[in-house]
Amino acid sequence: METKKKALDAYKKLENDANKEFVVEALYFKALDNFDKNDYLNSNLVIEKISNDFSGYKKWTGKSLLLMSKNFYQLGDAFQATFILESVIENFGQMPDIVEEAKKNLLQIKEIESKKNSSVEINN
Protein backbone atom coordinates (compact mmCIF):
# COMPACT_ATOMS: atom_id res chain seq x y z
CA MET A 1 0.00 0.00 0.00
CA GLU A 2 2.90 2.35 0.76
CA THR A 3 4.26 1.82 -2.76
CA LYS A 4 0.91 2.74 -4.29
CA LYS A 5 0.75 5.92 -2.19
CA LYS A 6 4.24 6.91 -3.33
CA ALA A 7 3.31 6.26 -6.95
CA LEU A 8 0.13 8.34 -6.61
CA ASP A 9 2.12 11.17 -5.01
CA ALA A 10 4.59 11.06 -7.89
CA TYR A 11 1.77 11.13 -10.44
CA LYS A 12 0.17 14.06 -8.60
CA LYS A 13 3.40 16.04 -9.09
CA LEU A 14 3.38 15.19 -12.80
CA GLU A 15 -0.12 16.62 -13.35
CA ASN A 16 1.46 20.04 -13.96
CA ASP A 17 4.58 18.89 -15.82
CA ALA A 18 5.63 20.62 -19.02
CA ASN A 19 5.68 17.24 -20.78
CA LYS A 20 2.03 16.71 -21.72
CA GLU A 21 2.44 12.95 -22.11
CA PHE A 22 3.45 12.77 -18.43
CA VAL A 23 0.43 14.88 -17.55
CA VAL A 24 -2.07 12.70 -19.40
CA GLU A 25 -0.54 9.53 -17.93
CA ALA A 26 -0.74 11.03 -14.44
CA LEU A 27 -4.36 11.99 -14.99
CA TYR A 28 -5.19 8.47 -16.19
CA PHE A 29 -3.78 7.00 -13.00
CA LYS A 30 -5.70 9.56 -10.97
CA ALA A 31 -8.90 8.41 -12.71
CA LEU A 32 -7.94 4.78 -12.09
CA ASP A 33 -7.33 5.50 -8.41
CA ASN A 34 -10.78 7.10 -8.19
CA PHE A 35 -12.26 4.00 -9.84
CA ASP A 36 -10.45 1.76 -7.34
CA LYS A 37 -12.00 3.84 -4.54
CA ASN A 38 -15.48 3.42 -6.11
CA ASP A 39 -15.52 7.15 -6.84
CA TYR A 40 -16.86 6.68 -10.36
CA LEU A 41 -18.17 10.22 -10.83
CA ASN A 42 -14.83 11.87 -10.05
CA SER A 43 -13.06 9.28 -12.17
CA ASN A 44 -15.30 10.31 -15.08
CA LEU A 45 -14.53 13.99 -14.45
CA VAL A 46 -10.81 13.30 -14.77
CA ILE A 47 -11.43 11.27 -17.93
CA GLU A 48 -13.45 14.13 -19.40
CA LYS A 49 -10.41 16.37 -18.88
CA ILE A 50 -8.23 13.79 -20.64
CA SER A 51 -10.67 13.57 -23.56
CA ASN A 52 -11.04 17.34 -23.85
CA ASP A 53 -7.45 18.45 -23.30
CA PHE A 54 -5.32 15.50 -24.42
CA SER A 55 -7.23 13.79 -27.25
CA GLY A 56 -4.04 13.68 -29.32
CA TYR A 57 -2.62 11.07 -26.96
CA LYS A 58 -4.58 8.15 -28.38
CA LYS A 59 -3.18 5.47 -26.05
CA TRP A 60 -4.23 7.35 -22.91
CA THR A 61 -7.49 8.56 -24.40
CA GLY A 62 -8.41 5.00 -25.39
CA LYS A 63 -7.47 3.57 -22.00
CA SER A 64 -9.40 6.37 -20.32
CA LEU A 65 -12.52 5.69 -22.37
CA LEU A 66 -12.34 2.01 -21.44
CA LEU A 67 -12.21 3.09 -17.81
CA MET A 68 -15.08 5.54 -18.32
CA SER A 69 -17.18 2.69 -19.67
CA LYS A 70 -16.44 0.71 -16.50
CA ASN A 71 -17.38 3.74 -14.40
CA PHE A 72 -20.74 4.08 -16.13
CA TYR A 73 -21.42 0.38 -15.78
CA GLN A 74 -20.68 0.56 -12.06
CA LEU A 75 -23.05 3.54 -11.87
CA GLY A 76 -25.79 1.35 -13.37
CA ASP A 77 -25.74 2.91 -16.85
CA ALA A 78 -25.22 -0.06 -19.17
CA PHE A 79 -26.42 1.99 -22.17
CA GLN A 80 -23.71 4.64 -21.75
CA ALA A 81 -21.09 1.97 -21.00
CA THR A 82 -21.87 0.06 -24.21
CA PHE A 83 -22.10 3.27 -26.25
CA ILE A 84 -18.57 4.24 -25.18
CA LEU A 85 -17.21 0.78 -25.97
CA GLU A 86 -18.84 0.76 -29.40
CA SER A 87 -17.33 4.19 -30.07
CA VAL A 88 -13.88 2.97 -29.03
CA ILE A 89 -14.21 -0.06 -31.33
CA GLU A 90 -15.24 2.20 -34.20
CA ASN A 91 -12.67 4.97 -33.67
CA PHE A 92 -9.51 3.35 -32.30
CA GLY A 93 -8.70 0.88 -35.09
CA GLN A 94 -5.06 1.99 -34.98
CA MET A 95 -4.86 0.66 -31.40
CA PRO A 96 -5.66 -3.07 -31.63
CA ASP A 97 -5.04 -3.77 -27.92
CA ILE A 98 -7.55 -1.12 -26.88
CA VAL A 99 -10.11 -2.29 -29.46
CA GLU A 100 -9.68 -5.90 -28.31
CA GLU A 101 -10.28 -4.91 -24.68
CA ALA A 102 -13.32 -2.86 -25.71
CA LYS A 103 -14.77 -5.86 -27.58
CA LYS A 104 -14.16 -8.13 -24.59
CA ASN A 105 -15.75 -5.65 -22.17
CA LEU A 106 -18.71 -5.10 -24.50
CA LEU A 107 -19.34 -8.83 -24.75
CA GLN A 108 -19.20 -9.17 -20.95
CA ILE A 109 -21.71 -6.37 -20.47
CA LYS A 110 -24.05 -7.79 -23.10
CA GLU A 111 -23.86 -11.26 -21.55
CA ILE A 112 -24.77 -9.87 -18.11
CA GLU A 113 -27.48 -7.58 -19.44
CA SER A 114 -29.02 -10.31 -21.62
CA LYS A 115 -29.74 -12.28 -18.46
CA LYS A 116 -31.63 -9.27 -17.08
CA ASN A 117 -33.35 -8.25 -20.32
CA SER A 118 -34.24 -10.63 -23.13
CA SER A 119 -34.17 -7.80 -25.70
CA VAL A 120 -30.37 -7.45 -25.36
CA GLU A 121 -28.68 -9.25 -28.22
CA ILE A 122 -25.19 -10.64 -28.03
CA ASN A 123 -23.36 -10.14 -31.32
CA ASN A 124 -19.68 -11.04 -31.52
Instruction: Select from 87, 34, 91, 23 the least CA-distant residue to 60.
Output: 23
What does each of the 124 residues of the chain score in pLDDT, given as a tens digit?
677 777 777 767 777 778 899 899 999 999 999 999 999 999 999 999 999 999 999 999 999 999 999 999 999 999 999 999 999 999 999 999 999 999 999 999 999 988 887 655 666 5
Does some domain include residue 122?
no
Does some domain include residue 63?
yes
- Give the number of domains in the chain: 1
Does some domain include residue 97?
yes
Does some domain include residue 124?
no
Does some domain include residue 35?
yes
Does some domain include residue 27?
yes
pLDDT recorded at residue 124: 54
Global pTM value: 0.87
Does some domain include residue 70?
yes
Work out the burial of residue 39: count CB atoms within 10 Å of its CB; fewer than 13 is exposed, 13-18 middle, 19 or more buried. middle
Does some domain include residue 21?
yes
Domain with 85, as residue range(s), is 2-116
Q: Tell me, what CATH number does 60's domain have?
A: 1.25.40.10
Over its C-alpha atoms, the chain yields an Rg (Å, rounded) of 15
Between CA 41 and CA 51 the distance in angstroms is 15
